[in-house]
Amino acid sequence: MATVIASGLTKRFETTCAVDGVDLVVDEGEVRGLLGPNGAGKTTLLRMLLGLVRPDAGTIELFGRTPHGSDRLILDGVAGFVEDPSFYPYLSGRANLEVLAELDGGGSQACIDEVLEQVELAGRGGDRVGGYSSGMRQRLGIAAALMRAPRLLLLDEPTAGLDPAGVRFVGGLVRRLSADGVAVLLSSHQIGEIEGVCDSFIMLSRGRVVWEGTGGQMRAQAPPSAYRILTSDDARALALAADKLGVQAEPSPSGGLIVEVEDGALDRFVLALGRSDVAIRRLELPVSPLESMFFALTDQPQDDPIVVPELAQSPRPSAGP
């Protein structure tokens, strides 16, 4: 069952079209990643779903109902935050949650302790939020969302400001919520941080959807990976690369070589370097396949065709209509 069905969403700010005809479906229990560079329209799309911004065109259905009437009342069961979660700095973390519980009708006061424990803030709940780090505010934002016992969770850059342990914590939490049937829409421009969490992705660029599909589809359609290799003899390595099928190498401005290889070609190239007495001093993958695809899709000028033609034909993930 689709939790979110958005169709043709458009929002324009003065001369800028922030979101341009976006269609979006998120199913119950699905974790969908919303990818795109800064300014792609991710936050505006989430704001429209949360009722903070009125779409200029398009429709939104949450749980099969149109949520935002003239007074833009958001439905029960929807929770989340956009940009960084914001709180009253002169109140403690616990007092902030109590205020939010009042806004929710008072019923969620009882679970404040539990959600504070859940986000590992139980020991700091009495401290003023003004003294919280950005990571702690992020955790408090997640706690505030959990208080609503959500069936749809909309999170905008939830890992921003978190340490690696925090990133792992958010990922685990999202997966647990998903297992309970919560639909999650997770926005980020750090594709590596949500890569393993999301079931499917939708990629925005300049307000438009440029690709959507599952993680497996994305990896399959990713362009060749580019490695950076430092060797004992770059000139000889460059000459060897020219003879190898499926290997393209060029000098890197920062030293060493940038080598684009197709599947299996990297092993052959490394063995060839060894046989030619060229030592490999460093081999690194600065950009993952998903990131390569991300850049390929989102760095395009607005009217240029997408580099990977078959991606445009990519079928919608199973969660889609």
Partner 1 sequence: MTARALSAAVPRRRRAGGGVWSVYRAERRKLLAQLSTRALALVCLLGPFAFGAILSQQGGVPADTLLGVWVHTSGYAVPLVVLGFAGYLGFPVLAGALAGDLFSSEDRYGTWKTVLTRSRSRGDVFAGKVLAAATFSLALVALAALSSIAAGLLLTGDQPLVGLSGTVIPSGECLLLVLASWLLSMLPVLAFTSLAVLFSVATRNGIMGVLGPVLVGLVMQLLALIGSGTWVHMLLVASAFDDWHGLLSAHKFYGPLIIGSCVCVVWVWACLGASWLILRGRDFAGTPVARRPGWVVPVRAVLGSAALIVVLGAASNWGPVAITKGRLEASIAPAFNDLTLLQQERLGRIVPKGTKLNDRTSCHRRAGASQGPGDDWSCTMTVVTPLPGANPLQLTAVTYDVSVKSNGCYKAQAPPSFVGQQMMSDAHGHSIVNPLFTIYGCFDTTAAATACAEAQNCGGAAARPSTSSPTSRARRQTPSTSSKRTTGPGRAETPAQRKAERAAGPVVMREINEAEGREEREAEKPVEEAEAAPPKVGR
SS3 of residue 188 by DSSP: strand
Q: Which of 2, 25, 30, 47 binds partner 1 (CB under 8 A)?
A: 47
SS3 of residue 202 by DSSP: strand
CA 157 to chain CA centroid, nearest Å:
7
Q: How far apart are alpha carbons 79 and 276 in whole angstroms?
A: 60
Q: How far is the CB of 302 from partner 1 (least distance, A)?
A: 20
Q: How far apart are alpha carbons 291 and 223 in whole angstroms?
A: 10
**E strand or H helix at 23:** strand 16-27
CA gyration radius for the chain? 23
244-273 binders of partner 1 (CB under 8 A): none
Quick one: which segment of 104-112, 208-216, 276-284, 289-297 binds partner 1 (CB under 8 A)?
Answer: 104-112
Q: Which of 5, 17, 91, 270 binds partner 1 (CB under 8 A)?
A: 91
Nearest CA among 116, 313, 312 for reference residue 205 = 312
164-179 and 134-146 are packed helices; what angle lies between their axes, rounded to 10 degrees? 10
Query: Nearer to partner 1 by C-beta: 132 or 211?
Result: 132
Residue type, 247: V
CA distances from 109 to 66, 95, 204 (A): 28, 10, 38
Q: Which of 3, 44, 138, 159 binds partner 1 (CB under 8 A)?
A: 44
Partners of 60 in the beta sheet?
6
**Site membership for partner 1, residue 122 (CB under 8 A):** no
196-235 binders of partner 1 (CB under 8 A): none
Q: How far is the CB of 176 from partner 1 (least distance, A)?
A: 5
Q: Which of 62, 147, 203, 266 binds partner 1 (CB under 8 A)?
A: 147
Query: Nearer to partner 1 by C-beta: 56 or 234?
Result: 56
What mask, x for binding partner 1 by CB under 8 A, covers residues 56 to 85? --------------xxxxxxx-xxxxxxxx
Quick one: which segment of 44-52, 242-250, 284-292, 303-311 binds partner 1 (CB under 8 A)?
Answer: 44-52
Quick one: which segment of 1-9, 100-108, 190-198, 277-285 binds partner 1 (CB under 8 A)?
Answer: 100-108
Q: How far apart are alpha carbons 144 and 107 in whole angstroms?
A: 13
Nearest CA among 52, 51, 45, 53 for reference residue 8 = 45
Query: Nearer to partner 1 by C-beta: 79 or 198?
Result: 79
Q: How far apart are alpha carbons 190 and 297 in whole angstroms?
A: 15
**Site membership for partner 1, residue 160 (CB under 8 A):** no
Query: Nearer to partner 1 by C-beta: 172 or 251?
Result: 172
Q: Which of 17, 111, 287, 290 binds partner 1 (CB under 8 A)?
A: 111
Residue with tokens 């019923």: 107
What mask, x for binding partner 1 by CB under 8 A, covers residues 177 to 196? x-xxxx--------------
**Site membership for partner 1, residue 86 (CB under 8 A):** yes
Strands 78-81 and 152-156: parallel
Q: How far apart are alpha carbons 236 and 148 in whole angstroms?
A: 63
Site residues for partner 1 per CB under 8 A = 13-14, 43-44, 47, 50-54, 70-76, 78-91, 95, 98-100, 102-108, 110-111, 114-115, 117-118, 144, 146-151, 176-177, 179-182
